[in-house]
Structure 1
Amino acid sequence: MTHHLTRDEARRLAVRAQRLDAERAGDVVEIAEDLGAIKIDPTTAIAPAEHTILWSRLGRGYEPAQLSKAVERDRLLFEFDGSFRPISRLAPMQTSMRAWPRRASTKEWLEANAKFRADVLARLKAEGPLFASEIPDIAEVSRPPDGWSGSNQTGIMLEFLARQGVVAIAGREGRHRRWDLAERIYPQNLPVYETAEAEQLLNEARLRSYGIAKQNSPWIPVGTAGEPATVEGSDWKWRVDPEAVAALDDDPGGRVAFLSPYDGMLFHRAAIKELFDFEYVLEQFKPKAQRIYGYFAHPILFGDRFIGQLDAEVDRKREVLKVNAVHEMLPFDPEEHEIVRLEIEDLAEWLGLRLEAW
């Protein structure tokens, strides 16, 4: 069955799947289950991405301790490849972990550093969990710095072992990760899936997280999950979650939300442009003179439209939230002005800061 959607319906599918509609989620784990991944990023113009992503869904009742509890105590979420993920996704992910690495150069580096690998695992077994800085670098063959990692090889080895599912992140102290054997972190006796079955399960989960996705997209791969769809005014081929389509009539309505630049809703920039007619460019890495909307501007979603961008920053010395500008991509009406203002006040209250008048 091919679904024929209006642009409004397609946008509502995306907004509801990403839990940005008027019906707030109950807790951190529920959000992670629905989104599939909560990006981790330390940039603190306002707050780290993982916390802003959760606040934008849960509201003022969210506290960062809820996330650390779900990850480190309850073990209902796990950290992998720069995101917090629900344990429900671990079993199908382990299929690709067991097959990693595929690149010959990575295999050769691991083989050349077999003693180093064994030493890292032995230390974790005897002393773990440990910071990378507590594990000596005894690599016999080094990989050159690549812009993401330095010359120390311990961090690289731990990252590679994590991709193999052999070690895992036990928790964090600030931005520093503690590592341990995966068998102590991940639940044991999970189902084992063949490659095709695991891929299908992950494709279906990704489609549920986004509601609608471009067919054959490398950004949000969904394969043949769901059902085909067309969208009014778009010549793209789409896949949709049929259960989400069936629930469109049961619409709780929209609300305003400020999105971290690393929010999953913005991940596929081209799809956002195609469905929402909103072209978002992160200006963090642009020279100051070339910035239009600000260093770390947060897009403002109102219902199923992107209406502006919030350029704000935290001044910790003065304990204030400073709003540099609220850029109106579409002219705000009086109600939108008021609702955006109230949301900025809620943001300052959540941060525990005074809002500086703007």
Structure 2
Amino acid sequence: MNTVTLTREQARRFIVHYQGLSGPFKYQGRQGILDLVAAAGCLQYDPIDAVGRNIDIVLLSRVEGIVRTDLEDCLYRDRTLMDHWDKVMSVCLMKDWPALRRLRAVHGKRHLDLLSNDEAVARVKAHLEKHGPLTAADLPDMGTSMQTARSRQVNQAALDALLFSGAAMIARRVGIKRMFALAQAVVPEDLYQQADPFTDSDAFIRWRLKRRIGAVGLLWGRRSDAYLGIDDVTVSTLRTHLQHLHDTGDIVQVMVAGLDTPLYALREAEALLEAVRAGAQYAPRLALIAPLDHFLWDRKLIAALFDFEYVWEVYTPEAKRQYGYYVLPILYGDELVGRIDVRAVRKKQALSVAHLWLEQPVPDDFHTALETVLEQFRIYLGLERIVFT
């Protein structure tokens, strides 16, 4: 299969079903969390907890039969997942530790060079070895230094250098507090000792590009926010790498009616591409989409395919917000039909719906489907009731 041609409707249907957002739930229970992370490569982590954290919302949209402690158990008890830098700070499979060695080397050197204080790094490392796991506040005071025109605590900068280099890791979380330890105390020994599996930097970059395409389902053959964090790729080298992956049969070119730029999908998605092109239909499901969900990694692509513009307004001054602080897109079937402003108000033990914006006609069962999803959120977050304000 050289090139697949889809309509915009078919492209939407492909992405939605590929990502496990239509039909029966594709992912189940704690194993489903691992399978989803494997499919996406990484899930972005953001600590803001407005209605669950970003990663909680991602899981609720795709994984059936989970409770909130399941993710923490995978991360900090079973050690099947890890906190690790990828696109940004993310949750990744622990088994990808060897494959990410080159990324740790690049980011670690950047932070070590910026700090330029080997003694501080050695002191923090020794303190972690003797006293870890511990919080950043437990580190000995080492004063402040100027980094990129701003003052920083030396101990925190040294800890960051250790984290990004892979010498230290998050061992567990206690509420919003992160507990740090040396990596060898967190990563299983067999993985910790494994060598980099890639023969050169090109092989590593192509692996990362495939992961990003695999996360979204379809991605442009041009620069995209979905490729964020793959620092060595320019517009020219991106095209070269994608052409190589296409020539080797690792990815398939997809042309969508009305779009001038080709898109790419993984070879493993060929059967689904053919099914969608042949007219396959999938039962619609309602999902609230997290602001940093991999579904939204390329918002320009979403705008082109779904006619839906989304801006995460959490850092927008209140007076300039169009919708609200933590508003979520609503996916129903293969359409983004609106937005919802919903918060967990824990003092009142309530899931509070402040506003619902519907931007196109919805089917008769929409409100029942929305109530079902809100109830799933309420249970997952341990709240007592749902209120509409």
In the superposition, the TM-score normalised over structure 1's length comes to 0.89
State whether structure 2 residue 48 is matched by structure 1 residue 43.
yes
State whether structure 2 residue 152 is matched by structure 1 residue 132.
no
Name the structure 2 match of 1:65: 69
Residue 341 of structure 1 and its aligned partner are, at CA, apart by 3.0
Q: Which moved more, 1:14-23 or 1:136-145?
A: 136-145
Structure 1, unaligned runs of 5 or more: none
* Aligned equivalent of 2:61, options 56, 65, 74: 56
Residue 99 of structure 1 and its aligned partner are, at CA, apart by 3.6
Distance 1:251 1:191 in 2: 44
Identity percentage of aligned residues: 26
Contact persistence 2:344–2:352 (CA under 8 A):
yes
Q: How many residues align?
A: 351
Distance 1:318 1:190 in 2: 49
Residue 18 of structure 1 and its aligned partner are, at CA, apart by 2.6
Contact persistence 2:107–2:165 (CA under 8 A):
yes
Larger helix percent: 2
Contact persistence 1:35–1:209 (CA under 8 A):
yes
Amino acid at match of 1:74: D
Name the structure 2 match of 1:169: 170
Distance 1:163 1:65 in 2: 26
State whether structure 2 residue 291 is matched by structure 1 residue 261.
yes
Contact persistence 1:78–1:85 (CA under 8 A):
yes
Amino acid at match of 1:90: W
Any idea what SS the aligned residue of 1:313 has? strand
Contact persistence 1:229–1:238 (CA under 8 A):
yes
1:297–1:140 Cα change, 3 Å? closer
Contact persistence 2:286–2:331 (CA under 8 A):
yes
Any idea what SS the aligned residue of 1:200 has? helix
Residue 102 of structure 1 and its aligned partner are, at CA, apart by 6.1
CA RMSD of aligned residues (A): 2.3
Name the structure 2 match of 1:211: 217
Distance 2:327 2:107 in 1: 37
1:275–1:179 Cα change, 3 Å? same
State whether structure 2 residue 210 is matched by structure 1 residue 185.
no
Residue 251 of structure 1 and its aligned partner are, at CA, apart by 5.7
Distance 1:137 1:5 in 2: 59
Distance 2:310 2:293 in 1: 12
Amino acid at match of 2:384: L
Amino acid at match of 1:118: A
Contact persistence 1:144–1:151 (CA under 8 A):
no
Contact persistence 2:224–2:298 (CA under 8 A):
no
Residue 357 of structure 1 and its aligned partner are, at CA, apart by 4.3
> Which runs of 4 or more aligned residues in structure 1 lie more than 6 Å from their structure 2 counterparts after TM superposition?
none
Name the structure 1 match of 2:153: 152
Q: Show the 5 A alignment for 1:80-119.
A: 80-81=84-85, 82-101=89-108, 106-110=111-115, 112-119=116-123
Q: Which moved more, 1:20-29 or 1:172-181?
A: 20-29
Residue 23 of structure 1 and its aligned partner are, at CA, apart by 3.3
Residue 107 of structure 1 and its aligned partner are, at CA, apart by 4.9
Name the structure 2 match of 1:314: 344
Distance 1:6 1:191 in 2: 44
Distance 1:34 1:49 in 2: 17
Any idea what SS the aligned residue of 1:334 has? coil
State the Cα deviation string for residues 53-74 of structure 1 (Å, max 9, x = none): 1112124x22121011101111
Amino acid at match of 1:279: E
In the superposition, the TM-score normalised over structure 2's length comes to 0.83
Amino acid at match of 2:179: R
Name the structure 1 match of 2:256: 231
State the Cα deviation string for residues 105-125 of structure 1 (Å, max 9, x = none): x55444x31111111111122
Distance 2:109 2:21 in 1: 37
1:190–1:275 Cα change, 3 Å? farther
Distance 1:153 1:64 in 2: 35
